[in-house]
Amino acid sequence: MEAPNSRNGVSVRAYRGDAMTLLAFDLDESKTKNLTGFSVRVTPGIRKPYYLTNLLTYSAAILKKNNIKLEAAHSTFFSPIQKFRWVHVPATFHQIQEPFYGTYKYEVTPRYMVDEILQPLDRSLTLTVSIDVGPYKSDDFQIGFTRGFVESQAYTNHFGNNSKVRPNKTDLIFDIKAKSGSVKRKKNGQDVLEDYTFEDQHIWLGWQARARIMEFLDETLSDNTLALDVFAFDLDEPVVCDKLIQLAEDGRLRVLLDNSKTHVGTNAFEDKFGALFNEKAKAPSAILRGHFRSLAHSKVFIQKTKATNEPIKVLTGSTNFSTNGFYINANHVIIFNNGNIAALYAQVFDASFGADKMKNFPGTSFAIQEGRDFNESKIPEMTVRFSPHTKEAATEFFAVISNRIDHAQTDVLFAVMKDDSASAILKAIKAVRDDKEDIFSYGITDTTKTVTLYKPHSKRGVRVAGKGGTHILPPPFNKEAPIPGIAIHHKFVVVDFRGKDPVVYCGSSNLAFTPEQRNGDNLIEIRDPDAVTAFAIEAIRLVDHFAFRDRKQNPKEVDLHTNEDMPWYASYYDPDDLHYVERTLLVGGRKN
């Protein structure tokens, strides 16, 4: 879903994501003289309106000259956004306790500064767009993203520098309502020390992915006619483990749990879960510890009827059922409330539930065929692929996907944990960034020695790292907690979200050639404009967040002040600049 508006030389387009909105702005070049940015006023339903927060403000001298008090300076009314787009996520700086879901009104106004004086807001230039903001969910299809922002100013404001999301490294199941820490928060203008719980952290960090997973488990638990089959790699999230054990006690759970080297031995949570399962479970509940040639890497819930074993719905994605997966990593989940899709996953589970079955899986039709296509009403048109594959099968579909990336028409956006493995797919992503200047390329990987940040007067794509950036930022920013684990655990690539044939590749597959022949995984190709847009917004959100930290860590990569005489917005009107490609792509209509 998107909502455009244009008038008087000003244009705004709002895109709906998963409980977030991408706002794109444009301004006729004739109206850019003295442009200092954009103010954005948000009205959530019938609640009190507020201006978006901008952590970058004017210098102290300019604030003083304009009589702007420091405590008010971070409002975009006083410090307009100096970008032509913004991703708004409720419950980041406003509506922390009870975020509103429903119709949001966004009022965007270009602002001007003359002789260091911020000019009054000109309502004749204000454009309004209204769009639904809330979880990406319908009766039949849902998407959920974790927040994954331990290293952020928002997290620091809410929880300080405490990055611990569990009390110790030994207890599998613990009381999430126990105190985790304390932080100074503003109350009526005063600093007040307040306690918070693990649950407070978990809800904020786990965001929509956590909510969707808990809803799925609660629905299954509350109906004793339902049962669950589970593929799990990491398994230590305390509430998830507790709910799974309850199902096991009811005789309603089968689990295929990875036993590769990181999941066995002293204090391995997966071993502890296995022991607890064996102690509590009642038939026909069953657990299999095993792995394929390398890993049992899928993260899947399959809901079924207990009496007839009929598959009903399935949850999949990149999110491990662990505290790291929910609360540290950037991840996604996808839910299909569709019997045919659930049946396919159930068949794959049955074809894997046994040591010999796992060994022989590459020879099954699930692994050999190019993929299973779905084209039904109420769910996206898509293809689902299962691994481990034979080398021949992997070679064939890697060529299909890399060819699609090679022939992108408008954009390639991605968030992948590792993008330097041997892979035609990952190679194609790099080629777009480096060689195709008219394609908007914007992506993030977890760690890399090859950060490519934005450079003025260049169309080269952006590739940033979630880990390795600085968490000690210059004033006025607070020191941030370092990330205790993987930051970017996503495995998705978006192609042509603004083109006529948008597609996203997502799921648990790392998109690497050798793991695709060794790991149990599922790779989902979704060809639905709204779903693809949700993933595109997620990529932009993550790149925007970590690019700033990467720039501080890599000061020689780009000098944003090579020409102090150029206004900040000049790059957005330079046809040879990535900002120009971005501005014209995001605010305009879909390219045909």
- Match 């404009």 to its residue by tokens: 529
Q: Which residues in 294-374 belong to E strands, given as ranges?
A: 300-305, 311-317, 332-336, 372-374
State the Cα–Cα distance between residues 447 and 512, nearest whole angstrom. Answer: 16
Specify the higher pLDDT residue, 407 or 150: 407
Q: Which of 385, 247, 238 is nearest to 316 (CA)?
A: 385
CB 195 within 8 A of CB 162: no
- What's the CA gap between 77 and 92, in Å, rounded? 18
**Model confidence at 553, in pLDDT bands (50, 70, 90)?**
low
Mean pLDDT of 558-567: 52
pTM: 0.94
Convert the pLDDT of each residue in 416-458 to its tens digit. Answer: 998 888 899 999 998 888 888 889 999 999 987 778 888 888 8
The pLDDT of 365-387, averaged and rounded, is 92
- The SS3 of residue 167 is coil
> Is the per-residue pLDDT at 62 higher than 50?
yes
What is 2-134's CATH topology? Immunoglobulin-like (2.60.40)
* Superfamily for domain range 386-587: Endonuclease Chain A (3.30.870.10)
Looking only at Cα atoms, what is the longest distance across the chain? 78
Q: CA 342 to CA 314: how far, in whole Å?
A: 5
What does the DSSP 8-state code read for residue 328?
A: I
* C-alpha–C-alpha distance, residues 159 and 182, integer Å: 7
pLDDT in tens, 174-218: 999 999 999 987 777 778 899 999 999 999 999 999 999 999 999
The DSSP-derived string for 128-155 is EEEEEES-EE-SSEEEEE----SSSHHH
Which of 158-167, 329-338, 431-440, 485-494 is predicted least confidently?
Answer: 431-440
- Domain ranges for the chain, please list them: 2-134, 143-190+194-368, 386-587
**DSSP SS3 for 456:** coil
Lowest mean pLDDT among 44-53, 75-84, 479-488, 548-557: 548-557
Sequence-separated contacts (24+) of 477-480 with Cβ below 8 Å: 477/55, 477/153, 478/153, 478/156, 478/157, 479/156, 479/161, 480/150, 480/151, 480/152, 480/153, 480/155, 480/156, 480/161
- HSE toward the beta carbon, residue 376, CA cutoff 13 A: 14
34: nearest Cα among 102, 117, 128, 154? 117
Confidence class of residue 558 from pLDDT cuts 50, 70 and 90? very low
Domains 2-134 and 143-190+194-368 in one fold = no
**If phi over 0 gives left and psi between -120 and 50 gives alpha, with beta otherwise, what is residue 171?**
beta
Query: Is 3.30.870.10 the CATH number for 143-190+194-368?
Result: yes
Nearest residue to 380 via CA among 491, 505, 490: 505
Provide the sign of the torsion angle of the four alpha carbons 128, 134, 138, 139, taken in this order.
negative
Q: Which residue is listed with tokens 């978990």?
A: 202
Encode pLDDT of 527-540 as tens digits. 999 999 999 999 99
